[in-house]
């Protein structure tokens, strides 16, 4: 476990006043099998690069300054396998992303992933994640997203992670046949699924809350505002009726015009207090054991520098 008392500070600044001008160069400077907290502070600007945090470099934070729209990581790639197109790939454990816009501008002609998260124990605060199809590949591991904005049209949150989205905003730009999630849980023995707690769903056209990429797909929306972008049926079976018996799709105390359940598919669930309880805390992701506050002390090599970054 990395020491939590302070973090090594690396500055990225396109003007040349930091340690590096490119984000990837800063990541590359972190030694393999890193065991210390590393805080890579990215000054405002638009960074046109693909970024990878390798599996052997845990405990890295990538952070903008205070608002996600001022620090943008952007690329244009798509049409190939989802694992190849991401603008940003997180393969390492114990990663934190803060106040960043991560986008793929590939557009409407195919799959273009903005962010792929495959490391365990990853957390994102105040980030904007933007694309059209397959925006966020929430691949594997335990993940936490808070106060994030996620935009897309088709399956724009997909994968088989165990993830809690708290106070996040999902915005559909579908023309009418979109799907907000495509969760890939393939066995009842897997403790994976997506939970949206205290979130907001908006957009144009229409979209379902989810469809089953995996037979045992699991998605729960709790205490979430649903605009009329949510289609009345709520969910679909991806043209495979057998998945109606195995997918687990639940709603709990949601509100707004899209939350009405009178026309929902019969195989979705209106959760009781008892049924919803496991999804209303960080239990599924074990978050209390690994989520950490932002560091307030930084050092470059030996001297300690006291700073006060924005709260999560």
**Which residues are annotated as catalytic?**
155
Is 133 within 8 Å of 104 (Cβ atoms)? no
Is 143 within 8 Å of 161 (Cβ atoms)? yes
What is the Cα–Cα distance from 14 to 296, expressed in whole angstroms? 24
Is 87 within 8 Å of 105 (Cβ atoms)? no
What is the Cα–Cα distance from 177 to 236, expressed in whole angstroms? 11
Structure tokens belonging to residue 159: 């994968």
Q: How many CA atoms lie within 13 A of 55 on its CB side?
A: 5
| Residue 308: strand, helix, or coil | coil
Q: How far is CA 92 from CA 62, 128, 290, in A?
A: 12, 20, 14
The string of DSSP letters for 221-247 reads: EES-EE-TTB-TT-B--TT-GGGGGT-
Please choose, from the candidates 227, 282, 219, 277, the residue with its C-alpha nearest in 3D space to the C-alpha of residue 254: 227
Structure tokens belonging to residue 72: 């943008």
Burial of residue 144 (number of CB atoms within 10 Å: 0-12, 13-18, 19+) = buried
Q: Which residues pair with 172 in a beta bridge?
A: 152, 203
What is the Cα–Cα distance from 116 to 134, expressed in whole angstroms? 10
């Amino acid at each position: 476990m990395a020491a939590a008392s302070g973090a090594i500070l690396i500055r990225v600044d396109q003007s040349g006043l930091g340690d590096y001008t490119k984000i990837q160069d800063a990541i590359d400077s972190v030694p393999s099998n890193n065991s210390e907290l590393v805080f890579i502070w990215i000054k405002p600007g638009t960074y046109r690069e693909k970024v990878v945090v390798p599996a052997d470099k845990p405990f890295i934070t990538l952070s903008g300054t205070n608002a996600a729209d001022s620090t943008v990581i952007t690329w244009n790639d798509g049409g190939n396998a989802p694992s190849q197109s991401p603008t940003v790939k997180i393969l390492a454990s114990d990663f934190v992303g803060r106040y960043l816009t991560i986008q793929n501008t590939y557009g409407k002609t195919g799959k273009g992933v903005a962010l792929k998260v495959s490391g365990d124990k990853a957390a994102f605060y105040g980030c904007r994640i933007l694309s059209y199809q397959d925006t966020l590949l929430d691949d594997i591991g335990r993940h936490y997203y808070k106060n994030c904005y996620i935009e897309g049209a088709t399956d724009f949150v997909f994968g088989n992670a165990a993830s809690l989205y708290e106070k996040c905003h999902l915005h559909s730009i579908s023309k009418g046949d979109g799907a907000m999630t495509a969760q890939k849980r393939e066995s009842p023995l897997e403790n994976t699924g997506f939970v949206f707690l205290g979130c907001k769903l908006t957009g144009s056209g229409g979209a379902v809350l989810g469809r089953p990429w995996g037979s045992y797909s699991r998605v729960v929306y709790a205490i979430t505002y649903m605009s009329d972008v949510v289609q009345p049926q709520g969910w679909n079976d991806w043209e495979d009726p057998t998945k109606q018996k195995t997918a687990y799709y639940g709603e709990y105390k949601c509100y707004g015009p899209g939350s009405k359940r009178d026309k929902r598919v019969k195989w979705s669930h209106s959760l009781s207090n008892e049924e919803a309880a496991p999804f209303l805390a960080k239990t599924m992701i074990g978050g209390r054991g690994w989520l950490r506050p932002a560091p307030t002390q930084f050092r470059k090599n030996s001297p300690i520098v006291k700073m006060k970054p924005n709260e999560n």
